[in-house]
Chain A
Amino acid sequence: MDVYELVRGPLAWVALIVFVAGCLFRLLSTLLTGKKETTLYPSTSFTDGLRSILHGLVPFGSTYMRRQPLFAVVTIGFHLCVIILPIFLLAHIVLWYESWQVLWWSLPDWLADIMAVWIILACIYFLVRRWAVPEVKKITRTTDVLLPVMILLTFLTGFLAYHQWGPYRPMLILHVLSGEILLIAIPFTKLGHMLFVMFSRAYMGAEFGKVLKAREW
């Protein structure tokens, strides 16, 4: 039984199906089972919601980003890289072709390297912050440590496998496995914020903008 074939084949199917189905399930159950708020002034406002989303996306738009500029730079880079790198990495694209005969543009390898290193350093930064900053330490739970560790492991093993530093096959298998664990974790953990941040941001924006006639932080 070939372990690489196992993680490349059946486990990859499982991870992708659980990821897609899980995201759909979480999205639909959140949107459809939410109760209509019984208040005098309902806070549905598309424009306010959109404004708030954009406010949160623009670098140094929100007050927290302005107050913690280093954190803002680290996390903006981290989020951009963590989304762009897995999709546009040559090695992943070659695998998609191997399975489905689809092909798309790939990042140059030097840029992919920089992005991977940024992510690895950012994960270390987040973990140190969880321990060193008191107001963050107070609210840190196991999941808040476990998830950055999983992301760190995934990108670290991928980086090491690409450079062929260390035992190659085990490193590659670990990388594929940690990626699959992450995919499965996304719909069912805090990583699901990638699905929900738009909605919670829009709600806050509508609540502050339409009802309180104020800008939120």
Chain B
Amino acid sequence: MRFKLSIVTFVFGLVVTSAVGWQVSMAQEEEYILAHEDVFGNLRRPQVGFSHETHVDKLEDGGCGKCHHAPDDKTGQLGYIDGDEQPCMECHGLQKANRIPALREAYHANCTGCHRDQIKSGNLQSGPTTCGGCHRKN
């Protein structure tokens, strides 16, 4: 009896530890606050709440590259490199550099651009497209 219980406890502990470990290793939070005062200085609009989880659910497979687009070492083409998901500001700074858009422009183009495309193609439940839709004053 005790042996069976310890087996069950061990397996249970293993499962829980793996789940927590998986979450931690994926480094995803429930909702990110996109403010970037380190880049923008004083913010001119309220900070944006971004749910990574919602976007992972909506975009399903192959959608990660929509945001996590890194240039390929050889070809320079933008694409998704599994395991190399950097935050946006790693490449996008305050000002435009070479052909890399500035951080604000990159956010707007990527976020509202996608949401507007979604709405135009019929998915009316897509994300916000207005200024205050994302920059919500709470």
Chain A residues near B (Cβ < 8 Å): 2, 4-5, 8-9, 90-91, 94, 97-98, 103, 109, 161, 163-164, 168-169, 172
Q: Is the CB of B108 within 8 A of A168?
A: no
Which of the segments B6-14, B64-72, B86-94, B126-134 contacts the partner chain? B126-134
Cβ of B105 under 8 Å from chain A: yes
Q: For B124, what are the chain A residues with a Cβ–Cβ distance below 8 Å?
A: 2
Q: Digit string of B112-136 for contact with A (CB within 8 Å is 1, else 0)?
A: 1100100110001000011111001
The count of residues in chain B whose C-beta lies closer than 8 Å to any C-beta of chain A is 18
What is the CA–CA distance of A109 and B43 in the complex, to the nearest angstrom? Answer: 11
Q: Is the CB of A4 within 8 A of B108?
A: no
Other contacts beyond A98-B108, A168-B132, A172-B131: 19, CB < 8 A: A2-B124, A2-B129, A4-B129, A5-B116, A5-B119, A5-B129, A8-B129, A9-B120, A90-B44, A91-B131, A94-B131, A97-B108, A98-B112, A98-B113, A103-B105, A161-B132, A163-B137, A164-B136, A172-B132
Q: For B131, what are the chain A residues with a Cβ–Cβ distance below 8 Å?
A: 91, 94, 161, 172
Q: For B133, what are the chain A residues with a Cβ–Cβ distance below 8 Å?
A: 168-169
- Supposing A2-B119, A109-B44 touch, asked if A97 and B130 sit within 8 A by C-beta, the answer is no
Cβ of B109 under 8 Å from chain A: yes
Q: For A169, what are the chain B residues with a Cβ–Cβ distance below 8 Å?
A: 130, 133
Q: For B119, what are the chain A residues with a Cβ–Cβ distance below 8 Å?
A: 2, 5
What is the CA–CA distance of A2 and B119 in the complex, to the nearest angstrom? Answer: 7
Distance in angstroms from B127 CB to nearest chain A CB is 12
Q: Is the CB of A164 within 8 A of B113?
A: no
Interface residue from A90, A91, A98, A161 paired with B109 (Cβ < 8 Å):
A98
Distance in angstroms from B32 CB to nearest chain A CB is 21
What is the CA–CA distance of A97 and B124 in the complex, to the nearest angstrom? Answer: 23
Q: For B108, what are the chain A residues with a Cβ–Cβ distance below 8 Å?
A: 94, 97-98
What is the CA–CA distance of A4 and B112 in the complex, to the nearest angstrom? Answer: 13
Q: For B130, what are the chain A residues with a Cβ–Cβ distance below 8 Å?
A: 4, 168-169, 172
Q: Digit string of B21-49 for contact with A (CB within 8 Å is 1, else 0)?
A: 00000000000000000000000100000
Distance in angstroms from A37 CB to nearest chain B CB is 52
What is the CA–CA distance of A109 and B42 in the complex, to the nearest angstrom? Answer: 12
